[in-house]
Chains A and B, each alone.
Chain A
Amino acid sequence: MTAIANTLVVITISVGVLFSVVTMIGILRLPDVYTRAHAASKSTTFGVLSILLGVFLHYWLNEGFFSVQLLLGIVFLFITSPIGGHLMGRAAYISGVEKSELTIGDELEEVVAEAKRRAER
């Protein structure tokens, strides 16, 4: 029983740490704000969720303590972290941060330009 529990814990925490490292590499390597926000908001969310799940499993299976706070933290981060990424990307776009030269399509451009023109009127 402890062997299975420990394997689960080690796997989940390792996956979490791996994803956090991937996030860091992504933030350092990717060309512009939007791709960095993409890297940061997605894989950190998964990484942190995985680490929290590992900690939760450790306390539940090895220590016999069912921590509701960790579950609540998982749900909370799962809801809020993508919203944070979304808001940062939106704020960057509306305040006119440069896109990378590799960008092909931009469907938001007309909408935001139209809204800005209407605001000036």
Chain B
Amino acid sequence: MKTNDVILQTTTKVVFFIIFLFSIHIFFAGHYTPGGGFVGGLLTTGALLLLLLAFDLKTVRKALPFNFLIVVALGLLIALLTSAWPMLFNEPFLTHAFGDYDLPFLGESSLHTATLFDLGVYLVVVGAGMTMIQTIGGDT
């Protein structure tokens, strides 16, 4: 039976961006408030899952044409590189550094290399979640 899901698809187009922006916010807020890479990644996966529910697998594959296994590998690579980087400067593995910088538009903000590690976690979570969902949902 051909269904008419205009309402679901139209709201998805709006709601997707709210969830996605909120996941980015959660990701960056992780250092000082609850949040971080894991929750942010899960929220992004949730937003993509909403797209998968409202549209079909083929449309979402066309809109996001990456292999999510590569996203997992990229995330692991970023995490490994940021943790191995201090070893070049005779510091122990997983040493992190931070500093307060005066950025042109954002004012004084503290930048921390743990954010890069978190980016790795984020990519791994998004990639693993989407791979699982697409593998279970797809035919092949």
Contact = CB atoms under 8 A, between A and B. Distances in A.
Dominant SS among interface residues on chain B: helix
Contact of B18 (A76, A115, A118): A76
Interface residues of A, number: 14
Interface in B10-36: 11, 14-15, 18, 22, 25
A83 B2 contact: no
22 contacts: A69-B22, A69-B25, A72-B18, A72-B22, A75-B18, A76-B15, A76-B18, A79-B14, A79-B18, A80-B11, A80-B15, A83-B7, A83-B11, A86-B7, A87-B8, A94-B1, A94-B3, A115-B1, A116-B1, A118-B1, A118-B2, A119-B2
Given A79-B11, A83-B7, A119-B1, 15 more contacts: A69-B22, A69-B25, A72-B22, A75-B18, A76-B15, A76-B18, A79-B14, A80-B11, A83-B8, A83-B11, A86-B7, A116-B1, A118-B1, A118-B2, A119-B2
